[in-house]
Amino acid sequence: MSDLRTTIHEDMKAAMRAKDAPRLAAVRLLIAAIKQREIDERAELGDGEVVAVIDKMLKQRRDSIAQYEAANRQDLADVEKFEMSVLQAYMPAALGDDELDAAIGAAIAETGAAGPQAMGKVMGLLKPRLAGRADMTRVSQMVKARLSGA
């Protein structure tokens, strides 16, 4: 079992002992999502794949929060925000702007990208490297700006 999965299971046990029902529910949701992906792929997930599962769950929570707040359902939005805070604890440290710029510059140099039409190549290289450590929408905007010369 990967280190991250071990940590998640230990956190579930701690939440059970502390009788922290909201945290326990959030951690169990994560464990269920990981198990579902393992069943779908018929393989045990490593830390990288677990981070991808968490990243997907965080994106779903962000979308749900926006919809709940638009519908004036703050109670449901608060539940989603709590789940996000629990999930965020398992993500690797986010990269700063300088580190992102350096990674984007390296990927552009590596691919030899020379214009906006090469954005797919650059993003294809960056996505596995930055998964879970940066908001890929923001990375995409930064790459687009660099390639268009802005």
The whole-model pTM stands at: 0.72
Q: In this predicted model, what pLDDT tens digit does every residue of 1-20 receive, in sequence order?
A: 678 899 999 999 999 999 99
Mean pLDDT confidence for 18-27: 95
Average pLDDT over residues 68-96: 92
CB atoms within 10 A of CB 27: 25
pLDDT of residue 15: 96
Mean pLDDT of 35-48: 91
- In order of their start, the domains of the chain are 3-88 (1.10.1510.10), 97-147 (1.10.10.410)
